[in-house]
Structure 1
C-alpha cells in the first residue's frame, strides 16, 4: 500500500525507484567519503582541497535530499539508513587515519568517476521511465562532472 499517488505510470515506478535509490546511496556515501577526507587530509595543499571537499559534500547532500524527495513523490519511500549504505555502496572507502593530499585527490577522482558513470546509466533509464527524474539526474551529473574535472586538475600532470 502506498500513501502517495503519482502520475508516473505504474510500470515505470519500479525502474525509476531503483534508479533513484542507487543515486541516493551513491550521493550519501560520496558525502561521507568527502567529509572523512576533509577531516583527515594533510599536506601542502591542505587548505584548497579541504575547501573543495566541502563543495562536494554540499552538492552530494543537497541532491541526496532532492533525489529522496523525488522517490517519495513517485510513491516509493527512500532508504538512506547507514545499514543500507553499507550493504549497497559501490564506492571505495578511504583508509583509516590521516590522508595525504595526493591520496585524497586520487580517492575523489575515482569516487566521482564511478558515481558519474552510474549516473549516466541512470539518465538513460529514466529517459524511458520518468523524464522529471531524468531532469534531476542531468543537473546533478553536471555538478558531479564539474567536481570531477576540478579534482582531476589537482593531479600531477604526466611528464
Structure 2
C-alpha cells in the first residue's frame, strides 16, 4: 500500500495548520523557515502593491515638458511592480501561508506614500516615485539579507525584485539628471 501525499507531507513537516478544518501542503520542509520567509516577503508585497498604485496615480497626473517619456515610464514601473508583487505573494502562498494584501492592509502597513494627489510637474512626480522606490528597496534589501541561509529560493525572488527596482530607479533618475 502506498503512503498518501498528505501523510508524506505531514511526516516531512510540510503541512501548516491553516484553521481547524484546512491544511495546506507546502513546498518547504521547515515550518519555522516558512514563517520567517513570510515575515521578510510580506512587507515587500505590500510595498510593491503600494508602488503599483502610486505609479499609476503619477502616470495619470503627470504634466510638463517630459510628459510622454515620464508618462510611459511610470506605466512600465506600475506594471513591473505588479509583476514583482505577484512573484513574492505567490512564493508566500506556495509555502502554505496566507497573505493579506487587500487595499486596506496596503494602506495601513506600507511605507510607500510620497506621491502627491492631483496634477504635478514631471520632475516632482519622478522625485516622489524615486522616494517610494528607495523606501521599498530598504524592505527588499532586508529580505535579501534575512533570507540568506533560511530560504534561498525566496531570497532569489527578492534578488530579482531588487534588480528590477534598481533598474526602474535608474530610468527615473535619468529623467531628472542634469
Common topology (TM > 0.5)? yes
Higher relative contact order (CA 8 A, sep 6+): 1
Q: Kindly indicate whether the alpha-carbon contact (under 8 Å) linking 2:115 and 2:129 is maintained by their aligned counterparts in 1.
A: no
> Are the aligned partners of 1:8 and 1:74 in contact in 2 as well (CA < 8 Å)?
no
Of 37, 52, 74, the match for 2:95: 74
Name 2:67's counterpart in structure 1: 46
Q: Distance in 2 between matches of 1:49 and 1:14?
A: 39
Matched, 1:37 2:58: yes
Max Rg structure: 2
Does residue 5 of the first structure (1) align with residue 25 of the second (2)? yes
1:131 CA drift (Å):
0.7
Give the equivalent residue in structure 1 for 2:138.
117
Classify the secondary structure of the residue corresponding to 1:4. strand
Q: Distance in 2 between matches of 1:139 and 1:86?
A: 24
TM-score, with normalisation over the residues of structure 2? 0.84
Residues 93 and 109 of structure 1: is their aligned pair in 2 closer, same or farther, counting only changes over 3 Å?
A: closer
The match for 1:153 is 174
CA-based RMSD of the aligned residues comes to 1.2
- Aligned-partner Cα distance in 2 for 1:86–1:92: 9
Q: Which runs of 5+ in 2 are unaligned?
A: 1-16
Q: Distance in 2 between matches of 1:110 and 1:70?
A: 26
* Equivalent of 1:15 in 36, 42, 47: 36
Aligned length: 157
Structure 1's unaligned 5+ residue stretches are none
Q: Does 1:138 align with 2:159?
A: yes
* 1:125 CA drift (Å): 0.7
Provide the TM-score with structure 1 as the length reference: 0.93
Deviation >4 Å, runs of 4+: none
